[in-house]
Amino acid sequence: MENDNIMQLLLEKETHSSDKLLKPDFNSRTGREFLAFYLHAKFKQLIAYDRRQPEPMIVEMNPNFPNSFSRRLITNPTKRFLIGITGESASGKSTICKAIKTVISELSMPVSILSTDNYFNDISKLIAEYGSFDKLIESGYDIDAPSSFQLDVLRRDLLDLADGIDIKAPAYLPNGTGISIPSSLPVSSEKFIIVEGTATMFDAVRDIFDIKLYVESDNIIRKRRFMHRACEERNQTPENALKQWNYLETAGYQYVRPHRNSADFVLNGNSDLGYFSQILEYLYTITNSFQ
């Protein structure tokens, strides 16, 4: 509640302020330097407020982000904004992804969402050879490794989306068959494109994103979330769910966690989503506050 009150005050101050700044000439060096300085000041203010909260949302921010983001706004304003969200299993990335979509939609800005899980390799022949998906995994097949994704297709699709071209993404069937259907999921190239999944920050595609978010949560909370989801929502046995959790914990440590340092923001997956939504509104307000 305290988080909500403070962010609401910040939002009202920015929204109703009579001291609107004149939009600088971003074609000039002075205008670009002003924007960088302005964003630095506002991001510092936001971080300072957030750090004083009982459950801060922003764990870390890349200090170079305000400069790189302002350059991006100036040099290529017509390009779509690609927001990449990653994190270990059950960290809260899907929930945060939905919150971002909700806020962007409420601000009447078009948004599309794409999951990198659609880009798993087709392993139907391997599953048939080993007898089942579980037996394939038991044989040592590492489904979360970068080599298990169609990263060349993902990169091509992301570049097309960034350039305003609609795509048809592959569809991986999560039913144990390992079938991937190529070019079957239509995704429109909206102004904001949110891409969620463990493959988002793999080396082959990371450079395409304008904003990179890494969501993290305490391992005990992640395990509790995962076991509940597996047993209550997906009807897995506790034994099978625990076996899958042990694999995902190891895979996350090996393939996801190393990319934490590449993120623009590290977010707390345990924080209140209402508070996070207000942070998003604040960021939108400060980047649209010029007369």
Q: What's the mean pLDDT in 131-156?
A: 94
Per residue in 157-174, pLDDT tens? 999 999 999 999 999 998
Q: Dihedral sign, CA of 147, 149, 151, 153? A: positive
Q: What is the pLDDT of residue 1?
A: 45
Q: What is the pLDDT of residue 227?
A: 93
SS3 106: helix
CB neighbours of 271 closer than 8 A, spacing ≥ 6?
3, 55, 56, 57
Q: Which residue has the higher pLDDT, 131 or 36?
A: 131
Share of the chain above pLDDT 90, in %: 48
Q: Which residue has the tokens 């390009």?
A: 79
Share of the chain above pLDDT 70, in %: 89
Using alpha carbons, select from 169, 172, 171, 173 the residue that is nearest to residue 186. Answer: 169
Per residue in 62-91, pLDDT tens? 988 888 887 787 777 778 989 999 999 999
**The token pair that represents 283 in the structure block:** 């960021």
